[in-house]
Chains A and B, each alone.
Chain A
């Protein structure tokens, strides 16, 4: 019985979120007594393999091919499918990143198996491993079990485990280089360079105070209210994805998995229900204040201070009180 963690590299750099998955895998290995191995997939990524080999793992595979230099789902699956068929791990764990979302369902399907994606944790129930994930936009959690033969595929959400708690090994683990045989004809997608849109003017990661709005703001003109609060607090205005999708605020003001990840001193969430994609971008904030009309909104699960009520009634007097308190 064996756990395999596929760490993520992008552009030849280790994505640190891989250590979170490794921490989770180490915990599962401790509880089950299963061996833990890791793999990195790429071209000339031996340095990453060496870094991972410093952690408490039995072995690290460095899966190499010139066809893996730029990420494509075809090349990754062409490299990993025969590798997994040969090594037969019981459990394959990956971080739930955009790259993994792109190839992991294809990989599991190619092997005739299922993937439980975006997990926040696991439970051991007797001999069975259950994977915990959120459903219905965070309103419920689910315990999901595999009803099949291994390998079982699971991905862990950012923040599910603490990357800084990954255990180092007593001595560096052995590294085995695997040459993947991928014919150029297998690659159908031709990826271009990774780029950033020129206009990313706002760096919210440096903001001390953020006032963020969600669907509860209802209309574009109501943003003025949130702006007044942000101004009174001396903070930046931000939003959940739907607000930016609607064009009410520019995309560079978006907090969450597809936007910026922030950890200000104060985060005020106005009319944000707290879908998981938003939570991962702000749960590290020192103090979270949530105002929402729905007392069961998932945002209250991460809030330090909660107000169940109509934000249109609460904000105007709050702006006045803040101005008074500031003198």
Chain B
């Protein structure tokens, strides 16, 4: 099976974020990491390849720094990478990212495309589903298991509140992968070495521009959310904090 994994670079989980001058985006001088759900999508693609053979290709859209995500994926075992390189991709809405990906892979023939179920920055949870619609492929979201089946694949979708559902679907298809579907691997030293010699295709914004449209969603303002609750902060050395909290749990919360 030939599998494409869409990956995104996002600010590190505990990176302190600050607003930029426009007030509509963050200052980008922070540490970045791979969007965690995408790491699970990559791992699943690598496992499928180990089982059934084929090829795993990784793709991302972002400035030069985003290359790190592809390097890590290659070191873990992806066969080649596609980098849509431009700072402008950061401002694209999900539909435009999907359009850019669709344009970049139009010469390729994939059986499956994986994305993480959502990104840790925007959190729209839409790119994979939109990409499927643009390609005219079926899709399924929040996938916890993938097996080959007659005429295609059988996937296990996670529904809400502990429910699941199996879905049979034909190929090619787009799947959005749930975190926790597998155990992530680490890159090996030899993998990191080999990654340097694996093919990397750079795609300039101009190449995909004809397929793009104006963003339909516009972030007017970004701000620290207003608190909905009054939080009582307990401060001091750990022993004092513990004593004060225990008192509150006994006298105010009344659970002791």
Residues of A whose CB lies within 8 Å of any CB of B are 73-74, 97-99, 101-103, 105-106, 109-110, 113-118, 130, 133-148, 188-197, 200, 208-209, 215, 233, 241-242, 244-247, 251-252, 257-261, 265-266, 273, 276, 286-287, 289-290, 294, 296, 298, 300-310, 313-314, 317-318, 320-322, 324-326
Are A137 and B162 within 8 A (Cβ)?
Answer: no
Stretch at the interface among B65-73, B204-212, B232-240: B232-240
Decide if B238 touches A192 in the complex (CB within 8 Å): no
Cα A193 to Cα B163 in complex, Å, equals 10
- CB-based contact B232/A304 at 8 Å: yes
Q: Give the residue of B95, B125, B242, B255 whose beta carbon is less than 8 angstroms from that of A317.
A: B242
Q: How many residues of B contact A (CB 8 A)?
A: 83
Q: A106-B133, A113-B216 are in contact. List 10 more A-B contacts (CB 8 A).
A: A102-B140, A117-B124, A139-B17, A140-B225, A233-B255, A246-B180, A276-B123, A289-B249, A308-B235, A322-B249
Are B255 and A273 touching (Cβ within 8 A)? no
- Pick the contact of B233: A98, A252, A306, A310 (CB < 8 A): A306
**B63 at interface, CB cutoff 8 A:** no
Q: In the complex, which of the residues B26, B125, B163, B164 contacts A117, with contact meaning CB atoms closer than 8 Å?
A: B125
A103, A143, A233, A326: the one within 8 Å of B220 (CB): A143
Given contacts A98-B158, A306-B234, contact A192 B13 (CB under 8 A): no
Which residues of chain A are near B121, meaning CB under 8 Å?
A: 135-136
- Where chain B touches its partner, the secondary structure class is mixed
Select which of A97, A98, A115, A324 is within 8 A of B246 by beta carbon. Answer: A324
Q: Which of B53-61, B77-85, B166-174 contacts its partner?
A: B166-174
A309 touches B241 (CB 8 A): yes
Residue of A nearest to B243 (CB): A321
Residue pair B13, A109 in contact (C-beta under 8 Å): no
Please report the C-alpha to C-alpha distance between residue A260 and residue B248 in the assembled complex, in whole angstroms. Answer: 27
Contacts A/B (CB < 8 Å), 30 sampled? A98-B141, A98-B159, A101-B125, A106-B133, A109-B134, A115-B126, A130-B220, A133-B123, A138-B225, A140-B19, A140-B223, A144-B217, A189-B169, A190-B169, A194-B165, A197-B164, A208-B255, A241-B180, A242-B179, A258-B142, A287-B255, A298-B225, A307-B233, A309-B238, A317-B239, A317-B241, A318-B242, A320-B242, A325-B247, A326-B256
Residue in A197, A258, A321 whose beta carbon sits within 8 Å of that of B242 in the complex: A321
Whether B168 lies near A305 (C-beta < 8 A) is no
* A99 vs B235: C-alpha distance when bound (angstroms): 44
Taken together as a complex, chains A and B put the C-alpha atoms of A107 and B161 apart, in Å, by: 25
**Which A residues lie within 8 Å of B29 (CB)?**
none
Q: Which residues of B contact A314 (CB under 8 A)?
A: 238, 241-242
Query: Please, which residue of chain A has its CB at the minimum distance from the CB of B227?
Result: A301
A217–B250 Cα gap in the complex (Å)?
A: 25
- Chain A proximity mask over B145-188: 1 for CB below 8 Å, otherwise 0: 00000000000001111111111111000000011100100000
The answer to whether B123 touches A118, judged by C-beta atoms less than 8 angstroms apart, is yes
What residues on B are CB-neighbors of A302 within 8 Å?
228-229
Contacts A140-B225, A143-B219, A317-B238 given; indicate if A189 touches B168 (C-beta within 8 A): yes
Closest to A149 in B: B216
Complex CA gap A189/B137 in Å reads 11
Cα(A74)–Cα(B138), bound, Å: 8
Q: Kindly state the separation between the CA atoms of A208 and B254 in the bound complex, as whole angstroms.
A: 12
Q: CB-CB < 8 A to B180: which residues of A?
A: 241, 244-246, 251
Q: Which residues of A contact B242 (CB under 8 A)?
A: 314, 317-318, 320-321
Given contacts A147-B216, A260-B161, contact A325 B246 (CB under 8 A): yes
